[in-house]
Chains A and B, each alone.
Chain A
Amino acid sequence: MSRGTNLFVAFSISGIVWIVTLFLSTGYVNEVAKSMPTYALILYFSYALFKVGGDLARLKDYPEEAQSLQKEVEEAKRFYKEKGLKL
């Protein structure tokens, strides 16, 4: 089974359990069941925010790499000039 199929089956089963719980439960359990999909979405997006935010904070810039590359570009141009190449 593909990942898409697995996810579809998992979501479908979760959906069926949720609908059954919604119709068969009363009182506090029913109140909690109503807000489960919203809670699940908030949980997922909070995780996404935490993960992507953390990864962004850790993603480093390396200005020295850009400077070093510029020097190598000049070095390459000198090399080709010595070889008499018209580029």
Chain B
Amino acid sequence: MSKYSVILPTYNERENLPIITYLIFEMAKKNNLDFEIIIIEDNSPDGTLQVAQELKKVYGDKLIIHFREKKLGLGSAYMDGIKLCHGNFIVIMDADLSHHPKYLVDFIKKQKTTNCDIVTGSRYIDKGGVMNWGFDRKLTSRGANFLASTTLGVKCSDLTGSFRLYKREVLEKVIKDVVSRGYAFQMEIIIRARQYGYTVEEVPIVFVERIFGESKLGASEFQIYLKGLWKLLWTF
């Protein structure tokens, strides 16, 4: 039977963490799926670690907490998380409720029917979408995806998306070589995976802008994205 490990990097997610944890395990229970969650907690000042420790009293061994002294970035969070995973499939997703765990049922179904190596959630295919996004956010996101797909020549409707299911060995191989930061990190994973000949399938998701906490998006993210895109242009 397949086992699924969810890697959840957290920073200042004390309000979202209990909810996302509940939703993941409820989805797993309803669908008779074997899930575990690995929380990578980067010493949040809002007490996210203490919340995670309380949650462990409810979920026991199915919830693993990995504490890090400071913010070390997504890439290293995934690499640390992989070492603690017991599953043969790994899910990466955001902890802020923008990625709803209910779509994991569709991800798993897609993976089983196609035997693909990666399933990626897409906001931009039929039945996909967003909620609580202003026009400028929509324009920035579509513009960024357009720029990436024309510049890099990659066919993927949602290159910057971060809600994905991987075969464990695929993520382990690809992530070792990734050098980008920010949104370019997610793009580089897909580009490298395609380069290695891994198959990628898409499933529609609805991305709901976070209810609790503050977004980590800022003007500097766009700068990092452009720098990352430029770097990827000369890498592949």
Contacts and interface: CB of A to CB of B under 8 A. Distances in A.
Main secondary structure of the interface of A (DSSP, over half): helix
B105 interface: no
A4 B233 contact: yes
Given A4-B233, A59-B123, A80 B18 contact: yes
A4 B124 CA distance: 26
Contacts, number: 91
A58 B157 CA distance: 13
Contact of A52 (B142, B151, B206): B142
Interface in A47-72: 48, 51-52, 55-56, 58-63, 65-66, 69-70, 72
A85 B54 contact: yes
A31 B206 CA distance: 51
Contacts of A11: none
Interface in B216-236: 233-236
B124 A55 contact: yes
Please classify how large the interface on chain A is, using the bins under 10, 10 to 19, 20 to 34, 35 or more: 20 to 34
9 closest Cβ contacts across the A-B interface?
A: A60-B129, A76-B22, A4-B233, A4-B234, A65-B206, A62-B206, A66-B131, A76-B19, A55-B142
29 contacts: A2-B234, A3-B151, A52-B142, A56-B138, A58-B124, A59-B123, A59-B129, A59-B138, A60-B129, A60-B130, A61-B131, A62-B129, A62-B131, A62-B206, A65-B100, A65-B129, A65-B131, A65-B206, A65-B208, A72-B19, A73-B97, A75-B22, A76-B23, A77-B18, A77-B19, A79-B22, A85-B54, A85-B58, A87-B54
